[in-house]
Amino acid sequence: MNRAVAWSLAFCLCWCAEQASAQGLLGKPYLSAQYLSLWTGDGFDELGNGGRIQGNFPLVIPSDDSAWTSGIDVTGSFSGIGLDLRDPSIPGFEMNMKLLGGDLGLNFFARATENIRPFVQLGMNWRQADVKATALGFSFRHLDSDTNLILTGGVEVDVFPAMALRGSYGRGADGYGGTAFLGEVILRPGDHWFGRFSASVDSDKTVIGGFGAGCAW
């Protein structure tokens, strides 16, 4: 059933793409900012929030609009989320967590058609978690940081004259080094300004949603 839904969605995206003009962000220099919300998916009743700044700069621009011309972008982001966790089953339990994440990498993409662009992202992610917890009168603090390889694959599709969809899956798709699926909607009402809406979900059902705006030139 899930496979049938996925194939149906892919068919609809490809059909719509043939009727759209280029509105995606691959191959374009841009800066964007997003407000982020995080749901932990583990029964805690609190919501985290923060922000993300993203940038992109093309290194290799496709030479023309013919099929399977390729390009390379340098892409990077920095994000931070604060989260307060409480578990009603543990009296006095409270946990405050701050997550920071930054990544830098390359997007290798090609034009399968004028409006369909598969891509692979390869790079490195840095993540830091600062946790402070209190329970039953005791408190502790733990600071942890690490770096991880970013390896994701996906596709960007122009579906309408002012809208593109992007989906990707792999290590680092969530911006914090985890393996997740990331879906994005990009609205381009003008030549430069755009709106960006995103949601990522990992195997632990942790969801990071975001919305914001940016400028491409």
CA-closest candidate to residue 179, choices 190, 167, 170:
170
The confidence score (pLDDT) of residue 17 equals 38
Nearest to 185 by CA among 171, 203, 166, 205: 166
Task: Identify which has the larger pLDDT, 17 or 27.
Answer: 27
Average pLDDT over residues 4-15: 46
Rounded CA separation 154/137 (Å): 48
Q: What is the CATH number of domain 2-216?
A: 2.40.160.20
CA distance 70 to 60: 8
The pLDDT tens digits for 167-196 are 999 999 999 988 999 999 999 988 889 999
